[in-house]
Amino acid sequence: MKAFKVALETGRLDPVYLFHGTDDYLKEEKVRALIARALDPSVRDFNLEQLRGAECDAARLSGALEALPMLAERRVVILREPDAMKKPATERLERYLASPASDTCLVLVVPGGTKPDADWLKAASSVEFRALSDDELLQWIAHQAQTANGTTIAPEAAALLATYGGNDLALLAGELQKLSAYADGGPIGVDAVKAVTGVRPGHTLADLLDHAAARETTQAVALVEEVLSQPKMSGVVVVLALAAQTLAIGWGVAAKARGLAQSRMESEFFNLLKEGGSVYTGRPWGDAVKCWARAVPKWTAADVDRALPHLLAADAALKDTKVSSEAQIITSLLLAITPTAARRRAA
């Protein structure tokens, strides 16, 4: 990433880039930056080709790669989802990668959750777009507020916004636009985030998940109504986050049984998320892995096994039933999967 940023600043772009990793929003952000740096707006339409693997045959790909720049020093070819191409187009791409043109910048954009081809990694300048850590996410929010919206955001407001949007950068970018309009160009504070998103510190989905992981049933249930009343929130979203969390804790319980030290639990959870791709955690990855690591000693494999059917049933009920409210379904789910110690002994 550092090398790519230097290339953007200097304009000395490599012939082929491979964008891969979990964060598709950041990939598209850098695709736009590359196009803006590589091509003059006056001749951009003549020298920019954007293709999608599933729709690109060998002939079309050859035409894009063999065309000469028009009134410019180079062309830019963006090929999204190259893994979806059929064999003839893939073979044509591989021949090109063996000897790429010096007057064309080809960018292969591999979608999140897809493992890039090993030969492409060797042939191209590889740039990985991973999910942002806590500090990186807060820096991104501050940078986005300034560059895209011409304003500033207080650190505590950025932290509250991060608990609302997690690593969903597209969602955060949209909320920052609303916040900028709400603040009328002034600094964005905690009160603005509360007003626009409806979230309050200590009353977010992240807080509900923390209580559920810690098996604090009463505290988790107390947050259900307020969390569900927040914008862009639904019972299905809560179940998705609870399911990811429960499966992760189950993985941690199994890893601990195999001898994984508690001190390594957070880093291993983070590696698991990177390998898993688009997993909805309901908050920044850094917050999620810390919570899961703390929770592992409080769960057993049997606890996780009992929880999974309840999660599946709640998901089906939220999509099908017309009888119970979302709050009733989520409350019943929490009571089933995070019983207090006394209730577990009684069961």
* Average pLDDT along the chain, 347 residues, taken 10 residues at a time: 92 95 92 95 95 95 96 96 96 96 96 90 93 83 90 92 83 92 91 88 90 95 91 87 95 95 92 76 87 95 95 91 80 86 48
CATH of 205-341, one of 1.10.150.120, 1.10.220.10, 3.10.20.30, 1.20.272.10: 1.20.272.10
Domain ranges in the chain with CATH number 1.10.8.60: 134-197
Torsion angle of C-alpha atoms 106, 109, 115, 120, degrees rounded to 10: 0
CA–CA separation, 314 vs 324, rounded Å?
A: 11
Cα separation, 83 vs 318, in Å, equals 35
- String of DSSP letters for 274-298: HHH-S---SS-HHHHHHHHHHHGGG
How far apart are alpha carbons 291 and 214 in whole angstroms? 8
In the three-class reduction of DSSP (H, G, I as helix; E, B as strand; rest coil), residue 133 is classed as coil
Q: What is residue 22's predicted lDDT score, i.e. its pLDDT?
A: 85
Q: Which amino acid is at 330?
A: I
Q: The domain 2-128 belongs to what CATH superfamily?
A: P-loop containing nucleotide triphosphate hydrolases (3.40.50.300)
Residues 6+ apart with CB under 8 A from 219: 211
Q: In b/e form, how buried is each residue of 16-43, taking b as 16+ CB within 10 angstroms?
A: bbbbbbbbbbbbbbbbeebbeebbeeee
- Which residues of the chain does CATH 3.40.50.300 include? 2-128
Asked if 99 and 123 count as a contact pair (C-beta separation under 8 A), the reply is no
CA 257: distance to chain centroid?
Answer: 30
**Both tokens of residue 268?**
């291993």
- Within the chain, all domains assigned CATH 1.20.272.10 are found at 205-341
Report the pLDDT value the prediction gives residue 321, as an integer from 0 to 100. Answer: 60
Q: How many angstroms separate the CA atoms of 189 and 207, rounded?
A: 21
Q: 58, 25 in Cβ contact below 8 A?
A: no
Tell me the CA distances in angstroms from 238 to 66, 223, 261, 283, one per residue in order. 49, 12, 30, 11
Is the Cα torsion angle 138, 127, 25, 163 positive or negative in sign? Answer: negative
CA distance 222 to 213: 15
Fold of 134-197: Helicase, Ruva Protein; domain 3 (1.10.8)
pTM: 0.70
User: What span, in angstroms and rounded, lies between the C-alpha atoms of 93 and 245?
Assistant: 40
Count the neighbouring beta carbons within 10 Å of the beta carbon of residue 91.
Answer: 12
